[in-house]
Structure 1
Amino acid sequence: MERTAVNPWKWSLGIGFNQAELIEGTRRELICSGQTSMDGDGHPQHAGDMRAQVILAMDNLEAVLAGADMTLADVVRFNIYTTDVDELFACYDVIAGRFGAAGVQPPCTLLGVTRLAFPELMVELEATAAA
């Protein structure tokens, strides 16, 4: 797979994402449902702790990717839904650090929402991967 960043403006690079990516030569595509801070039994974890929720949601996303023999390096689209945009930005380093370690800056959309599926949840991460 070949990824070509498309950035008519450079401001997004400082926060860790490209405006777009041209993806060529893929064989497989994985559409992930939103990952949250749920444990293996489907119970919300870390009520009121955004950083802990982001860490567990990223762990869960990486587990889903691994189930398809993929990693964060294969993510070509990333969406974040949060009930508190300011608090999410305060711990965005977790997300940027993980993608940075994987060597990618996938296009990203961040949306503030009123609530998620369970009232305790503060963040949901949705990804599309290609390999």
Structure 2
Amino acid sequence: MEKRIINPWKWQDERSYVQAVEVIKPEGTLYISGQTAIDYDGKSSTSDMKSQLIQSIKNLERVIKEAGYECKHIVRLNIYTTSTEELFTCFNIFQNWVSKHGIKQVSTVLEVSSLFETLKVELEATVVK
């Protein structure tokens, strides 16, 4: 698999995403449903945004690993949140995670009126191999 990053500008670099990713000759593509702060027993978190973001990232990593893929090969990662204001107070957690894995992904951040039960953030990803 080969990836080519397309960035006509530099400003997106500080926001931890890229404008486009071209994938050439992938061996596989993994489409992951939205991962949230739901525990092993299926109980939704009632914690704050920071805690929910950390748990959502852990759950996303687990699905990727179980499928035999790697975080560094995420090519799309959409973020749904009930409050962009709250999310951006702890966005450095997301940015540090992206940096740690060398992820170069396209992203969309969407504020929605609600998510399932008490959830505040959801991460939806596409990963290639």
CA RMSD of aligned residues (A): 0.9
- What is the deviation of 1:48? 4.5
1:96-115 matches, cutoff 5 A: 96-115=95-114
Aligned residues: 129
- What is the deviation of 1:43? 0.4
Which residue of structure 1 lines up, in the alignment, with residue 66 of structure 2? 67
The answer to which of 56-65 and 93-102 deviates more is: 93-102
Which residue of structure 2 lines up, in the alignment, with residue 83 of structure 1? 82
Q: Determine whether 1:20 maps to 2:10.
A: no
% identity of equivalent residues:
38
TM-score (norm 2): 0.96
Structure 1: which amino acid aligns with 2:124? E
Structure 2: which amino acid aligns with 1:71? E
Structure 2: which amino acid aligns with 1:20? A
- Extract unaligned runs of 5+ from structure 2: none
The 3-state SS of whatever aligns with 2:100 is helix
Moved segments of 4+, more than 2 Å: none
TM-score (norm 1): 0.94
- Extract unaligned runs of 5+ from structure 1: none
Q: 1:124 aligns with which of 122, 125, 128?
A: 122
State the alpha-carbon separation in 2 of the partners of residues 107 and 78 from structure 1: 6
Which residue of structure 1 lines up, in the alignment, with residue 33 of structure 2? 33
